[in-house]
Amino acid sequence: MENQATIDELRKILFYISKGYKLPKIIHDVIFRVAKYEIEEKKKVVLIKRDPNIHSGRIQAVYVRIIEGEAMDIHPATVGGFGADFDGDTMSVFVPLSKEAQTEAKTKMVRAISNSSINSPNFNLTNEMLIGLFTLTHENANNPPKIVKSMEEIVVLHPGIVVTFKFKGESRTTTAGRFVFNSKLPPWYSFIDEPIKKKNLGIMFTEIVSRSKSDYAVTIDAVMKLAFEIATKYPRSISLDMLRIPPQLMKLKEKLAKEKDMMVQQEIIDDMTSEMIKHLQAHVPELYDILESGASKGYGQLRQLMIAKGLFSDAEGNILPVVARSMNEGYRPGEYFNAAGGARKGIVNRVHTTAHGGYAYRKMVYVMGNAQANPTNKDCETRLTMKIKLTPDLFRRMKGRYVQDTFGGPFIPVDKSMIGKVINLRSPMFCRSLKICRTCYGQLIDQVDSRNVGLIAAQECTSLSEKIMKSFHTGGAVDLKRPDIIKMLLENISDDMESIVKKAFQQEDMSLVSNAPFVVVNIKKSLYDDEYKITEDEEYLSLPMGYFDIRYDDIVIPMTIEEKTRFYLKNAQREDTNTNIMMTFSAGEHIFLLQPSSLQPDEVARRLDKYVGGKSPWTTPESLYTKFYKILGAMGDWDSVHLEVILSNILRWKEDPHYPARVKYPYNPTTFSIKSLPGVMSWPLGLAFENFGKAITYGMISERGTESPIEKVFFGESLLEE
């Protein structure tokens, strides 16, 4: 058998392959065939990973096809999760060898749906695919309807031509492009008769994947191929000429240059943006299509290029003088100097928050690592529920959760009809079982298919770096928002009270004004300490963050304002007790004043740090939830339950913070800084985390009973026996 290679020879061959040597053709062919047979034909999966591995989607198991060539090819629909583009990105490949490793990778790491949300698909179409689909479905040739008999006749037509065609058993008149698009969807899916953008495409894939994963796989492939085809056939190219400023916008630019008030400047910039969109839609379809399809980063960048740089801040967060010129026109020296400050801010932000976000994530993983669910425990029968107003956004994040419809009644799945009402939600925050029960967690438990819901929650909500990095290409641009105080009032009360509240209050500029004969503001002094001080001058009583109640008639409205809130002292009749400050305002009086706000990514990271540091004041678990939801909600599409799992672990029992507050009676929670939490929860965990001196101190103070690990160590017992 002299043709057989010895083990040593094989080792040598593998060594040379790993060093990147070119192999003789005969050996190459053998290796290629073996790889094809062992991996492709035996249907094995491999793991592919793109660094930095900052969230769970960045390593996935995939079925592969072995091909020739220097580079690996990946499916375009997967690039979103990997954060990949094709400018030289590298990815690593790992082959799980044993049968067990293969099984584990197949069951846990090949996923059509993500852990983050019930029925949210893991793959989506991006960039030119979106342009292709938008081009296909939004054009309209305005011709009289043409009657056609078959799909073959339609596909050769220009997408904008209007046709009448019998499709899925129904006669319909719309553009040829929309028929072509719909022909790629599963037969059971209803006809989409509107332009396809990122948003409705996402909704569509979510619906398809929730009904059938195989339909989803087939559809995403078919739609992707179609999208590339259209983007190639009707390519969009842009030139500098398209960035000419339309005359009606020149007037707004002059107005912007003269205006002094920052909030008004912002409003002019907003007007400019909407004027620009109108102009593009009518005259520059090439740009309009790219932006409107959702393929690019939105209108902000184009506005800076074409109309005006606008408002932006320097690295310290100070808002710089407005620049009314655009990049296309060119800046004056002073404007250029300031704009450079804005650009620097962008870079500082990116570096700073990437590091910050990464560290916050690491801390969260340590704190959440031991939070588990028990899918076999149907119901812990807790009496406590989270009382929160169900907004459409929250409804999306709370699908598959359980609410109590009537007091003392049974728990039923949350339903669309409850939007606008204050619901009583079963939540991990109040679960009486140490391992969270099914009713508190909701139906997502079957999808995540794991007991380690804490770890998953940490991944989904706080892998911030990924999300923040995506929002950093604006050169320090600032987007000031006039606070909508009436909306804030309505945030925590059900919609049927809306008319009463709207009658009793009105907003004047950035102040709230009372229409009712008496409005009482009630501030709890204990919420404010040395770091968050209540301050007073002749005009105002100022709260660093506005936590207070507004009472009017029988209605008590809890307020959670994450901004400096200033009350008009001279309009108030004031009464202080040991614990509270009460201020009564009569009709027509200004109550409080807010500032324009701009929530930038660095501010998000800073606030999150404060919240998880256990230092920011809060009143009820619901208000703590609201704080987190407000800053983290915009950063991702995760289901609400992940955030509640995190809070369920951060809210500790006051008497012995070793336990989560929810498992003890009476429910009396306190928050700890997540930096000290590992030490509080278990000192071995604290030792592993970062500050072991502190961990031992905490372990000695907070761990009780003869069974505690620290005592075992003192008595010379091994920890490993557990």
Residue 63 has, within 13 A of its CA and on its CB side, a CA count of 9
DSSP 184: T
Contact 441, 359 (CB under 8 A): no
> What residues from 500 to 559 belong to the interface with Zn ion (CB under 5 A)?
none
Determine the residue type at 14: L
Q: Between β-strands 146-147 and 162-167, what pairing exists: parallel, antiparallel or unpaired?
A: parallel
DSSP string for residues in 231-248: HHHS-----GGGGPPPHH
- Please pick, from the candidates 287, 302, 403, 440, the single residue that binds Zn ion as defined by CB under 5 A: 440
Q: Shortest gap between Cβ of 500 and Zn ion (angstroms)?
A: 35
Nearer to Zn ion, 380 or 519 (CB): 380
Angle at 274 between CA 268 and CA 275, to 5 degrees: 85
Residue 580 has, within 13 A of its CA and on its CB side, a CA count of 12
Nearer to Zn ion, 440 or 521 (CB): 440
DSSP 119: T
Contact 311, 270 (CB under 8 A): no
CA distances from 596 to 97, 271, 642 (A): 58, 17, 31
Q: Shortest gap between Cβ of 384 and Zn ion (angstroms)?
A: 10
Cis preceding linkage at 413, omega within 30:
no
Nearer to Zn ion, 380 or 605 (CB): 380
Q: Shortest gap between Cβ of 313 and Zn ion (angstroms)?
A: 45
Among the listed ranges 89-97, 207-215, 372-380, 606-614, the one in contact with Zn ion (CB under 5 A) is 372-380
Binding mask 418-437 for Zn ion (x = CB under 5 A): -------------x-----x
Nearer to Zn ion, 205 or 430 (CB): 430
Q: Shortest gap between Cβ of 438 and Zn ion (angstroms)?
A: 8
Q: Binding of Zn ion at residue 129 (CB under 5 A)?
A: no
In 3D space, the residue among 392, 366, 421 whose CA is nearest the CA of residue 676 turns out to be 366
Nearer to Zn ion, 442 or 476 (CB): 442
Q: Shortest gap between Cβ of 204 and Zn ion (angstroms)?
A: 34
Angle at 68 between CA 67 and CA 69, to 5 degrees: 120
Binding mask 330-349 for Zn ion (x = CB under 5 A): --------------------
Among the listed ranges 103-111, 374-382, 506-514, 522-530, the one in contact with Zn ion (CB under 5 A) is 374-382
Q: Shortest gap between Cβ of 377 and Zn ion (angstroms)?
A: 7
What is the spatial distance between Cα 161 and Cα 719, in angstroms, rounded to a whole number? 75
Among the listed ranges 8-16, 309-317, 325-333, 440-448, the one in contact with Zn ion (CB under 5 A) is 440-448
Q: Shortest gap between Cβ of 439 and Zn ion (angstroms)?
A: 6
Q: Shortest gap between Cβ of 646 and Zn ion (angstroms)?
A: 16
Q: Shortest gap between Cβ of 426 and Zn ion (angstroms)?
A: 7
Nearer to Zn ion, 381 or 553 (CB): 381
Q: Between β-strands 402-404 and 386-389, what pairing exists: parallel, antiparallel or unpaired?
A: unpaired
> What residues from 626 to 655 belong to the interface with Zn ion (CB under 5 A)?
none
What is the spatial distance between Cα 442 and Cα 426, in angstroms, rounded to a whole number? 8
DSSP string for residues in 651-679: EEESS-TTSBGGGSSS--EEE--TTTHHH
Nearer to Zn ion, 435 or 712 (CB): 435
Number of residues forming the site for Zn ion (CB under 5 A): 4
Among the listed ranges 315-323, 379-387, 405-413, 540-548, the one in contact with Zn ion (CB under 5 A) is 379-387
Nearer to Zn ion, 425 or 490 (CB): 425
Nearer to Zn ion, 77 or 371 (CB): 371
Q: Binding of Zn ion at residue 661 (CB under 5 A)?
A: no
> What residues from 4 to 43 belong to the interface with Zn ion (CB under 5 A)?
none
Q: Binding of Zn ion at residue 380 (CB under 5 A)?
A: yes
Q: Shortest gap between Cβ of 670 and Zn ion (angstroms)?
A: 21
Nearer to Zn ion, 245 or 431 (CB): 431
Residue 362 φ/ψ, nearest 5 degrees: -60, -45
Nearer to Zn ion, 180 or 440 (CB): 440
CA 189 to the chain's CA centroid: 28
Which long-range contacts link 151-159 to residues 24+ away (Cβ below 8 Å)? 151/179, 151/180, 151/183, 154/179, 154/180, 155/180, 159/135, 159/230, 159/234
Q: Shortest gap between Cβ of 436 and Zn ion (angstroms)?
A: 6
Residues near Zn ion (CB under 5 A) are 380, 431, 437, 440
